[in-house]
Structure 1
Amino acid sequence: MNYRKLGKTNLNISEISLGTWQVGGKWGSGFDDTTAEKIINTAIDKGINFIDTADVYESGLSEAAVGRVLRSRSEEVYIATKCGRQINPHVDEGYTPKALRKFVEASLKNTGLERLDLIQLHCPPTDTYYRPEIFGLFEDLKKEGKIANLGVSVEKVEEGIKAMQYDNVTTVQIIFNLFRQRPAELFFREAEKNDIGVIVRVPLASGLLTGKFDQNTSFDKEDHRNFNRNGEAFDKGETFSGVNYETGLEAVNELKQLFPDAENLAPIALQWILSHKTVSTIIPGASKEEHLLSNLSAVEKKTLSEDQIEKMNAIYDKHLKAQIHQKW
């Protein structure tokens, strides 16, 4: 495993880490503690020392599983969780210091930890980024020893750039992959300037970039890849990175032609992300141990050549840039 600095937190974390949205089972199909703990333990065994979760993942079951495993291990593993998505309706007015404090304290109880290494606002409405009192709360929580660092998880580049203006924001979690390239421009430059750790989520475009989907692939009715393709439940960009499914398949088929010997495109897609040195870590999810091992194989494979990266970017330019680039 290779490690990178997580911005001004000064933590050195695994460049491929673990996201736990679906760690105990596939989206919409329930949660299994045994599976979750097996995946998390294997991740740590393989050198992962950064695990991302959230209080809303399986109504806290993900947080609890992460906490159980971390308390049973002797390795230094950093936990990042998120708060704010429990606010219903999810509007700016619902974001108050009192509400967010309760969420943080609930996460501490749920994980069984005395302090959270990183707490992240979980994709709040854009207006929330313009309220200093919200960010000030986390300075109080830091002084109380309940958190070590504050970050934000964002939908839009503009939100990430605004969040960086608060001195106590140390990380920004953002969607970035071969099919969602805009962050590599102004956002990355600003992140470097402000020493912000960049945590990449949805690195495989909800599985599209594995190359294992086709026109006949079906998804569970409770799976967001089935019900949120047009943003019916939450931001459209969270599902297939906002890419039209059929258009995405066309782009993937061209990617397969570029890498004809690859049975699984996931490690290649992750290598493309890692070629951007501004990225601190990638947090792909895993509903099975084999998914985790597939993701980790990216660090063992030969680095992509400049020519390969250029041809991958050309696929984005040809199929997706016009419909995706300026939306997020």
Structure 2
Amino acid sequence: MKYRKLGKTGFEISEISLGTWQVGGVWGEVFSHENAEKILHAAVDSGINFIDTADVYGDGESEKAVGKFVKNRSERIYVATKCGRQLNPHVNEAYQPAVLRKFVEASLKNMGLETLDLIQLHCPPTQVFYRPEIFELFDRLKEEGKILNLGISVEKVEEALKGIEYDNVTSVQIIFNTFRQRPAELFFEQAKKKNIGVIVRVPLASGLLTGKFSKQSTFTSGDHRNFNRNGEMFDKGETFSGIDYETGLTTVEELKALFPNESNLAPIALKWILQFDAVSTIIPGASRPEQVLSNIASLDYPDLTDAQITEMNKIYSKHIKPLVHHLW
């Protein structure tokens, strides 16, 4: 495993880390603590030391599993969680300091921890980023010893750029992959200038970039790849990076032609991301231990050549950029 600094936090974290959206099992199923424990052990045994969760994953069960696990391991494991998505309706007006404080305190209780290494606002509405009183709350929580750092999880580059104007924001979690390239423009430049950690989520475009899906692939009724393709439940960009599924499949075929000897494109997709020095870590998810090991194995994949990257970017510009580049 290799490690990079997570911006102003000073944490040295694994280049490939673990996102826990589906750690308890496949999306839509009842959370399995047994499966979660196996995945978490596989991750840390392989050198992963950064785990990202949220209070809404498994309705709090993911936080409980992560907290129990961390307390039973001797290694220093950095834990990041998120708050805000419990709000219903999830609107700007619902974001209030007193409510967010209760969410943070509930997360501490869920995990059985005294302090959170990193608490992140969980993709709030854009207007929230223009409200200083929301960000000031986390200074109070830090003074009280309840958190060490504040980060933000965002949908849009605009939100990332506004969020890092607040001095207490130390990290930004954002969707970035070869199908979602806009963050590599102005945002990465500003993140490096302000020493902001960059946590990359949805690195495989919800599995599209593995190259293993086809028109015949099916997803369970509780899987967001089945019910959220048009943004029915949350931001469309979280599912297949906002790409129309058929367009995604067509584009992946061109990537396969560029790497004809590779049956699994995931290591290539992850390596493409890691070749940006603004990136601190990637947090692919896993619903079984084997997926964790497969993601980590990508670190051994040779660096992509300039020619390969150029061709990958051409494919993006041809098929994807006109459809989504301006949206997020």
TM-score bin (small chain): over 0.9
Q: What is residue 132 of structure 1 aligned with on the other side?
A: 132
Identity %: 68
**Equivalent runs, 1:23-102 vs 2, <5 Å:** 23-102=23-102
Displacement of 1:82 after TM fit?
Answer: 0.0
Residue number in structure 1 paired with 2:188: 188
Cα distance in 1 between the residues matched to 2:20 and 2:266:
17
Opposite residue 104 of structure 1, the aligned amino acid is V
Inter-partner Cα distance in structure 1 for 2:34 and 2:263: 29
Match of residue 225 from structure 2: 225
**Residue 317 of structure 1: aligned partner:** 317
Deviation readout 1:182-210 (Å, 9 max, x if unpaired): 00000101111111000000000000001
TM-score (norm 1): 0.99
- 1:173 aligns to what? 173
Pairwise CA RMSD: 0.6
Distance, in Å, in 1 between the alignment partners of 2:289 and 2:70 is: 18
Q: Which runs of 5+ in 1 are unaligned?
A: none
**Structure 2 residue matching 1:121: 3-state secondary structure:** strand
1:208 matched to which residue of 2? Answer: 208
Counterparts of 2:59 and 2:100, CA distance in 1: 16
1:122-177 deviation per Cα after TM superposition (whole angstroms, max 9, x unaligned): 00001111111100000000000000000000000000000001000000000000
Distance 1:117 1:35 in 2: 24
- Report deviation, 1:264: 1.1
Query: 1:266 & 1:5 partners in 2: Cα distance?
Result: 24
Matched with 1:273 is 273
Q: CA–CA distance in 1 between the matches of 2:24 and 2:310? A: 37
Equivalent position SS for 2:170: strand
- In structure 2, list runs of 5 or more residues that go unmatched: none
Q: Deviations over 1:275-296 (max 9, x none)?
A: 1110000000000111111100
Find the counterpart in structure 2 of residue 256 from structure 1. 256
Q: Report the residue type matching 1:70 in the other structure.
A: V
Q: Which residue of 2 aligns with 1:143?
A: 143
Report the CA distance between 1:300 and its aligned residue: 1.2
| Deviation readout 1:231-250 (Å, 9 max, x if unpaired) | 11110000000001000001
Number of equivalenced pairs: 328
1:87-126 paired onto structure 2 within 5 Å: 87-126=87-126
Per-residue CA deviations over 1:90-146 (Å, capped at 9, x if unaligned) read 001110111000000000000111100000000000111111110000000000000
Q: TM-score, normalised by structure 2?
A: 0.99
Q: CA deviation at 1:301?
A: 1.6
1:311 Cα deviation after fit: 1.1
Quote the offset at 1:267 in angstroms: 1.0
Deviations 1:211-239 (A, max 9, x none): 11000111111111111111111100000
Q: How far apart are the structure 2 equivalents of 1:312 and 1:294?
A: 22
Aligned to 1:221, what secondary structure does the other structure show?
Answer: coil
The CA distance in 2 between the partners of 1:17 and 1:308, in whole Å, is 25
